Amino acid sequence: MPSNVPTFPELLGSATSTAVHLEMRDSYAVDYEKGPFADWRAGFRHDPGDRASWWRPWLDLIQETVGRGVVVRRARIVSEPVSEYIRFEHSGTFTNITAGEQVRWLPRRQASAIALPGNDFWLIDGRLIRWNHFTGDGASAGGEISEDPAAVKLCTEAFETVWERGIPHDHYAIT
């Protein structure tokens, strides 16, 4: 990863008011043989009462960020019927919400008329973009930082439009 790309603790630590994240892939690289996705495929589900077992240290970082007064929102554009990976994400999203994130889902068919950037991103305080690059099979290809005003405007408008049209997590049913 390029040296100018801050770590997520640094990135979210720099946020003073907002941190928004747009995800547009139906699958990210997962290990089908081991790890959280494999466990989920085998029937594991997070126990809402066992917070210590959830995805750490990410949820601690979100909780700390929200605790400083930063509004953290995540929007996911998904194809329907959803992929197995999206089912996995959906089943564990309650942990993000418990940590303080707000999450909405937008069926891809409802995103056709939205001008979207070519990559997933985080937008911090409406001024700094962290692009998330991926390979064709969903593996991380690193990140990139931008403060380009045109890109910031595109990301802001895209995210807000997706957010307005999105369905809050607790109302988005996967069938």
**pLDDT digit string (tens) for 49-63?**
887 777 678 899 999
Residues 6+ apart with CB under 8 A from 107: 77, 78, 79, 80
134 close to 140: Cβ distance less than 8 angstroms? yes
175 close to 120: Cβ distance less than 8 angstroms? no
Structure tokens at 138: 């969903």
**Residue 2 pLDDT more than 60?**
no
Band of pLDDT at residue 159, cut at 50, 70 and 90: very high
- For residues 110-120, give the mean pLDDT: 98
- For residues 137-149, give the mean pLDDT: 94
The three-state secondary structure class of 112 is: coil
Query: Could you say which of 3.30.870.10, 3.40.47.10, 3.40.190.10, 1.10.357.140 is the CATH number of the domain covering 8-171?
Result: 3.30.870.10
23 close to 101: Cβ distance less than 8 angstroms? no
Band of pLDDT at residue 1, cut at 50, 70 and 90: very low
Count of beta carbons in the 10 Å neighbourhood of residue 125: 13
**pLDDT digit string (tens) for 61-85?**
999 999 999 999 999 999 999 999 9
Domain boundaries, the chain: 8-171
Residue-level pLDDT at 111 = 98
Q: If you average pLDDT over every residue of the chain, what do you get?
A: 93
Among 12, 31, 28, smallest CA distance to 20 is for 12
C-alpha 164/C-alpha 173 separation (Å) is: 18
